[in-house]
């Protein structure tokens, strides 16, 4: 977390890591710990965390995790149901789930979190004609 200026450290909203400023609390805490350790002479290296957001406001739940940039995905699955205010978008790259956005019913978000963190490979899944919900059903098994 040392900047390009010796003995100057950065964490959280002012820190750029891998050309990104993440701006999330859990990542800021981890970066702050690494900065603090390094400032006190305990050399520590920051290990990139997967960004997770889970707000609940105005009666709507949201889950967002990982890379949600379509340009970095090889496949994107989208399920949308405006009648129940539900939306799912799953980002896949090279048969791995790399990110997801779920609005509404977030009960199955732990499946996505586990798949993203563990790097579950979807080689056994035909991604050419599957919905986000069907993929979640397969992850559940």
Domains in the chain: how many in total?
A: 2
Q: How large is the C-alpha radius of gyration of the chain?
A: 18
**Does residue 22 share a domain with residue 68?**
no
Tell whether 88 and 126 lie within a shared domain.
yes
Contact 125, 137 (CB under 8 A): no
**Are 62 and 126 in the same domain?**
yes
Helix (H) or strand (E) holding 32: helix 25-39
Whole-number percent of the chain with pLDDT over 70: 93
Does residue 31 register a pLDDT over 80?
yes
Give residue 76's pLDDT. Answer: 94
pLDDT over 80 at 129, yes or no = yes
Q: Provide φ and ψ at 100, rounded to 5°.
A: -160, 150
Q: How does the average pLDDT of the chain come out, rounded?
A: 85
- Of 10, 28, 49, at which residue does a domain stop? 49
Output the pLDDT for position 86.
85
pLDDT tens digit sequence for 68-119 = 899 999 999 998 877 767 899 999 999 999 999 998 888 888 888 889 888 8
The CA distance from 98 to 117, in Å, is 9
| DSSP annotation of 111 | H
Q: Are residues 33 and 87 in the same domain?
A: no
Q: Is-contact 116 65, C-beta < 8 A? A: yes
Domain interval for residue 1: 1-49
Please determine, for residue 55, whether its predicted confidence score (pLDDT) is greater than 70.
Answer: no
Query: What pLDDT does residue 106 have?
Result: 82
**Cβ neighbours of residue 137 closer than 8 Å, sequence gap 6 or more:** none
**Residues 104, 64 within the same domain:** yes
First to last CA, the chain: 40
Task: Return the pLDDT at 105.
Answer: 81
Q: Do both 38 and 58 map to the same domain? A: no
Residue 14, pLDDT score: 77
């Amino acid at each position: 977390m040392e900047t390009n200026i010796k003995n100057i450290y950065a964490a959280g909203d002012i820190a750029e890591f891998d050309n990104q400023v993440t701006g999330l609390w859990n990542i800021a805490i981890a970066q702050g710990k690494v900065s603090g350790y390094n400032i006190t002479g305990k050399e520590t290296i920051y290990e990139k965390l997967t960004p997770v957001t889970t707000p609940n406001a105005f009666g709507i739940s949201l889950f967002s995790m990982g890379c949600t940039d379509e340009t970095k995905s090889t496949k994107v699955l989208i399920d949308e149901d405006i009648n129940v205010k539900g939306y799912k978008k799953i980002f896949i790259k090279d048969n791995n789930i790399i990110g997801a956005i779920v609005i509404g019913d977030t009960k199955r978000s732990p499946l996505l979190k586990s798949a993203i963190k563990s790097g579950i490979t979807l080689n056994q899944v035909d991604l050419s004609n599957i919905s986000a919900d069907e993929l979640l059903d397969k992850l559940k098994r």
